[in-house]
Structure 1
Amino acid sequence: MHTLSTFIIAFLLACLFAATAHAQHVFKCSDGGNVSYQSLPCDGATLRSWEATPDVVDPSAQARIESLRRELRPERRASGRYRSSRSSKASPAAACERARSGRATAYAKAGLKRDFTLSSHWDNRVHDACW
């Protein structure tokens, strides 16, 4: 009976050490005013040391992040998928230039008395036409 309990205790200790086997020791070192982080003990002064365990990556969260990255790639935005329904049939460069010209005319006409509503309206039109 004594050997069975010794075996169980040894097994539990082995499991405990196996769980922390992936942890690494990190040392914050100072050498003549320079601070560095390393996995080996410091040659100079050790400012701090600790156990660091890597984060567990959730595969479903990683897949979600990758799908969002694919969705936001510039070539997908440039294809017109995200364009406003208000965009004209003309070439994008011509529509952009027309919106910028309209904004400049409206700003010149309003002068220094232009308000946020006017600026917001024309900036949004330029954004929709140019992006």
Structure 2
Amino acid sequence: MRSTIRFILISLLTCFFVVAAHAQQVFKCSDGGHVSYQSSPCVGATLRSWDATPEAVDPAVQARIESLRRELRPERRTSGRTRSNRPGRSPATACEQARKGRADAYAKAGLKRDFALSSHWDNRVHDACW
């Protein structure tokens, strides 16, 4: 008797989870010129419907993505020499000079400024100010 009740209970629970994990549908509906998206079938005209069941995420792929994100994050140095700590130059002064040089170069080039010029001066400002 106990095994029969246990079997029925497990069967009911299994059916419940199977029903809860059914495919999800998305419906694109049109009602008097207004377009809406909903999970239940449309009352008016159905323009389109598709399956929106999320795909399973592979843990190996997720781990690889996280490791790439960590590699690409800029490192914040707490010790050691950085580019802005050059001997004999104040970082604020070097930064101001680089910004002034960039502004002068941009003003001189006008609308004929190209990528090489912009890249050169932006890198100089970055090196002096960072």
TM-score, normalisation: structure 1 = 0.54
Task: List aligned pairs for 1:1-131, cutoff 5 A.
Answer: 22-72=22-72, 76-77=74-75, 79-80=76-77, 86-89=83-86, 92-104=91-103, 107=105, 111=108, 120-131=119-130
Q: Deviation per CA, 1:20-57: give whole Å up to 9, x if none.
A: x5421221111121211211111221112233331121
- Code of the aligned partner of 1:122: W
**Alignment length (residue pairs):** 105
Q: Counterpart in 2 of 1:3?
A: none
Q: Provide structure 2 residue ranges, at least 5 long, that are not aligned to the other structure.
A: 1-17
Q: CA deviation at 1:64?
A: 2.6
For 1:88 and 1:22, locate their aligned partners in 2 and report how far apart those are by CA, in whole Å. Answer: 61
Once residues 80 and 92 of structure 1 are traced to their aligned partners in structure 2, the CA distance between those partners, rounded to angstroms, is 16
CA contact (8 A) 1:88 1:95 kept: no
State the alpha-carbon separation in 2 of the partners of residues 69 and 120 from structure 1. 25
In percent, how many aligned pairs have the same letter? 69
Partner of 1:9: none
Deviation at 1:91, TM superposition (A): 6.0
Structure 1 runs not aligned, ≥5 long:
1-17
User: What is the alpha-carbon root mean square deviation over aligned residues?
Assistant: 3.8
Whole-angstrom CA distance in 2 between matches of 1:59 and 1:92: 45
Instruction: Quote how far apart the aligned CAs of 1:95 are.
Output: 3.3
Q: Shift of the alpha carbon at 1:80? A: 4.0
